[in-house]
Amino acid sequence: MAVAREKDVLSKVDHQTGSEWWRGAVIYQVYPRSFADASGDGIGDLKGITDRLEHIASLGVDGIWLSPFFTSPMKDFGYDVADFCDVDPIFGTLADFDALLARAHSLGLKVIIDQVYSHTSDQHAWFQESRKSKAGEKADWYVWADAKPDGTPPSNWQSVFMGPSWTWDASRGQYYLHNFLSSQPDLNVHNPEVQNALLDVAKFWLDRGVDGFRMDAVNFFMHDPALRDNPKAYEFRGNKPFDLQEHLYNQSHADIPAFLTRVRALMNSYPGTFTVAEVGGERALEEMQLYTQGDKGLNTAYSFEFLEAESLSAKVIRDAVEAWPDVEDMGWPSFTFSNHDRPRAVTRWATDSDMEDNPAFAKMLNMLILSLRGSVCLYQGEELGLPQAHVPFERLTDPEAIANWPATLGRDGTRTPMPWRRDVENAGFSSHEPWLPVDPRHTHRAVDTQENDPSSVLNALRDFLAFRKGQPALVRGAIDFLDAPEPVLAFRRVLDGETRLCVFNLSGREQDWQPEGGAGTPLFALEGAKPGAPLPAFGTYIL
């Protein structure tokens, strides 16, 4: 039954409109500050990305996702937007963006950009107008509330980045809501005028030719207008104030799907575009499936189930994938092992330093995520097997890392500059001292070094993506997990009568396991793995 449904989808998409190219697509995430610096000021920019697009295209991915490059005071490095429809000067100009877009399209790459609709910077013109008066033109564009009789904030809500999520504004004489930094006031997306303004932002970029959006923090789009207090957490999730509450009222309002229906309707008027939602929190799975349900929600969504997993296991993988069954009206999943917000996977999941530095482990992780049912976000540097960089306290820039030091690895260590050339200053990222230091361990894994090594993590990824393009079952097929003992993971991908059996050894030790009825034609393997023989450390094969 599942196979038949997948066959119907593939037939409809490939032979009629081609508009659902994103099903099973691989999107390479670019963090602009850290990818390539063409201007020589130590900060990556749009021209630098354009200069390096051929590298991305050479991987065999389908498109790129650009993290924010919009006008911003950079308190949260671009996720505090001061102008949704312009480029911050540190990254370049709108003309530079247009040139990047044109070059990417000429190389066959789709271009996805971030859209941050839950909040803006406090420097945004909308907020500056809103704070002037309780009766002004944009008075209700943000979430304002009076103090309680004793002067305390309107509710007990806590911000993700520590402390209360309410800040007093003397200009207006009220508190404003911010689920993140105090310099990131929350938009009142309940307001139809705000919704219209955000849809106009989306249209601005769609008219320029972008192919889709990564929607930031979707479950933070709307709050409880009654401002009810959150209850205490039902279980221990951490020591930060934010972790001590169940987030029932500061986010996840029931009206969010109705706004997403408006977003989907706009996207449908631009054929071939798509949306991927970021959804975090304790109800992430429920909300992702709600926000992607049927033909009125967003196209796909990802959360932090892999990004926050403390260890890698077959159970972790299987539980996450099987949570998206192929049933009527179920959305299409997306997965990522690393991104700009969480430590890199080879560090998070390594059980010792040897494992972190073992190229075989990085190769296996890349092949694994690219073999699962769903679309894939591949973070810059994953093609090199980069570990989490060490950033000393005096060089930290991430407000979350500074506030929580030393209890967290923070986000700076995953945002350090991309290493392009081993024997060049700053690993070829910039002629100037970079905004974050280059980790010496990254220099030894630079692109130019791996280019010339047929057995490198880089070339293993290229080989597998080239192979995957000719395997529709691996791109859009159904998935069926086999019963196998940890740390072996085995599953079948099936489409249109073709079956691909995928077997992975997730550990650094040889495993003696064979699938029942595992006879078949070997198609791809790592570390010399093959059926009928013990699985080598981090070995994998596809039949």
The residue among 466, 485, 518 that closes a domain is 466
Asked if 196 and 258 sit in the same domain, the reply is yes
Helix axis angle, 256-268 to 192-208, nearest 10°: 30
Q: What is the pLDDT of residue 4?
A: 33
pLDDT band with cut points at 50, 70 and 90 for residue 15: very low
For the segment 418-427, the average pLDDT, to the nearest whole number, is: 97
pLDDT band with cut points at 50, 70 and 90 for residue 398: confident
The CATH number for 411's domain is 3.20.20.80
Q: What is the rounded CA–CA span in Å between residue 346 and residue 312? A: 10
Q: What is the pLDDT of residue 3?
A: 33
CA distances from 160 to 244, 245, 267, 425 (A): 11, 11, 30, 37
The CATH number for 529's domain is 2.60.40.1180
Asked if 257 and 404 sit in the same domain, the reply is yes
Instruction: Determine the distance from the C-alpha atom of residue 108 to the mean position of all C-alpha atoms in its chain, rounded to a whole number.
Output: 21
**Is pLDDT of 16 > 90?**
no
**Is pLDDT of 512 > 50?**
yes
Q: What is the rounded CA–CA span in Å between residue 515 and residue 364? A: 19
Tens-place pLDDT, residues 67-122? 999 999 999 999 999 999 999 999 999 999 999 999 999 999 999 999 999 999 99
Q: What is the pLDDT of residue 406?
A: 72
The residue among 443, 466, 489 that closes a domain is 466
Q: What is the pLDDT of residue 409?
A: 64
Asked if 37 and 76 sit in the same domain, the reply is yes
406 within some domain:
yes
Strands of 434-497, DSSP E: 478-481, 488-495
Count how many domains the chain has: 2
User: In sequence order, which residues have a C-beta less than 8 Å from that of residue 353 and are 6 or more positions away?
Assistant: none
Q: Domain range for residue 518?
A: 477-542
pLDDT band with cut points at 50, 70 and 90 for residue 465: very high
Q: Which of 69, 60, 62 is nearest to 34 (CA)?
A: 69
The residue among 439, 466, 493 that closes a domain is 466
Asked if 367 and 239 sit in the same domain, the reply is yes
Q: What is the rounded CA–CA span in Å between residue 359 and residue 133? A: 58
Asked whether 130 and 171 are in contact (CB, 8 A), the reply is: no
Asked if 364 and 259 sit in the same domain, the reply is yes
Asked if 320 and 433 sit in the same domain, the reply is yes
Give the least confident one: 7-11, 65-69, 131-135, 433-437.
7-11
171 within some domain:
no
Strands of 178-246, DSSP E: 212-215
**Is pLDDT of 2 > 60?**
no
434 within some domain:
yes
3-state secondary structure 108-135: CCEEEEEECCCECCCCCHHHHHHCCCCC
Asked if 214 and 335 sit in the same domain, the reply is yes
Q: Which of 74, 65, 76 is nearest to 115 (CA)?
A: 65
Asked if 379 and 444 sit in the same domain, the reply is yes
**Is pLDDT of 14 > 70?**
no
Asked if 403 and 520 sit in the same domain, the reply is no
pLDDT band with cut points at 50, 70 and 90 for residue 525: very high
Q: What is the mean pLDDT of the chain?
A: 93
Asked if 453 and 483 sit in the same domain, the reply is no
**Is pLDDT of 403 > 80?**
no
Q: What is the rounded CA–CA span in Å between residue 115 and residue 113? A: 7
Q: Which of 180, 68, 183, 201 is nearest to 128 (CA)?
A: 183
309 within some domain:
yes
Q: What is the pLDDT of residue 237?
A: 83
Longest Cα–Cα distance of the chain, Å, equals: 75
For every residue of 241-308, DSSP letters joined together read: GGGGB--SSSS--TTHHHHHHHHHHHHHTSTT-EEEEE--STTHHHHHHHHT-TTTS-SEEE-STTTT
Q: What is the rounded CA–CA span in Å between residue 462 and residue 117? A: 35
155 within some domain:
no
CA distances from 52 to 30, 57, 65 (A): 11, 9, 14
Asked whether 159 and 147 are in contact (CB, 8 A), the reply is: no
Asked if 486 and 380 sit in the same domain, the reply is no
Tens-place pLDDT, residues 196-248? 999 999 999 999 999 999 999 999 999 999 999 999 999 888 888 999 999 99
Q: What is the pLDDT of residue 365?
A: 98
- Across 398-421, b (16+ Cβ under 10 Å) vs e yields bbbbeebeeeebbbbbbbbbbbbe
Q: What is the pLDDT of residue 517?
A: 73
Tens-place pLDDT, residues 159-182? 998 899 999 999 999 999 999 999
472 within some domain:
no
Share of the chain above pLDDT 90, in %: 87
177 within some domain:
no
pLDDT band with cut points at 50, 70 and 90 for residue 480: very high
**Is pLDDT of 44 > 90?**
yes
168 within some domain:
no
Q: What is the rounded CA–CA span in Å between residue 51 and residue 47? A: 6
Tens-place pLDDT, residues 441-462? 999 999 999 999 999 999 999 9
Q: What is the pLDDT of residue 125?
A: 98
Asked if 461 and 482 sit in the same domain, the reply is no
Give the least confident one: 318-332, 336-350, 407-421, 497-511.
407-421
Catalytic residues: 216, 278
pLDDT band with cut points at 50, 70 and 90 for residue 18: low
Dihedral pair phi/psi, residue 371, rounded to 5°? -105, -10
